[in-house]
Copies of this chain bind each other. A is one copy, B any other.
């Protein structure tokens, strides 16, 4: 994982449909070399998948809410119970009282209520606190470090001269 790898990741996060030729040019490598690096990043599990980002509203999932799930029992091995609810996009075990935080997307607030009912049905769940999102400022890929684009010749010369 060197700096070029991080640049490749940042470029792919922005647009994974680019050609390896374009990718290579952006980081100063040939298409073949860029391809080989990306292939390794996939193999190592650094790049877990290539996916598409879909507009929730277009799939009739315009309502976003975060729900804090309180429980009386240990929830650490209950992943499947949450995964069984398709409207739940994320589920995290959090510090504090035995609790889980879930991110939910539904078509309407009525359907949100329905999700809450299904959460209560999970064994050990003692309560929920739903927080509805009014506006999403942004949701973005995680920062891969400074991906200095184009002709960003790093002054200061960290790059070692290639001697042979």
Contact = CB atoms under 8 A, between A and B. Distances in A.
Interface of A: 1, 6, 9, 12-17, 44-56, 58-59, 61, 64, 66, 76, 78-79, 82-83, 86-87, 89-96, 100-101, 105, 131-145
B52 A49 contact: yes
Contact of A79 (B44, B45, B137): B137
A101 B135 CA distance: 10
Looking at A54, A93, A140, the one whose CB has the most chain B CB atoms below 10 A away is A54
A136 B137 CA distance: 23
Nearest to A139: B90
Copies of the chain in the assembly:
2
Contacts of A95: 131-134
A54 B50 contact: no
Looking at A94, A96, A132, the one whose CB has the most chain B CB atoms below 10 A away is A94
Contacts of A105: 142
A137 B100 contact: yes
Closest 9 CB pairs of A and B: A91-B137, A79-B137, A46-B58, A86-B143, A93-B135, A92-B133, A49-B53, A12-B52, A16-B50
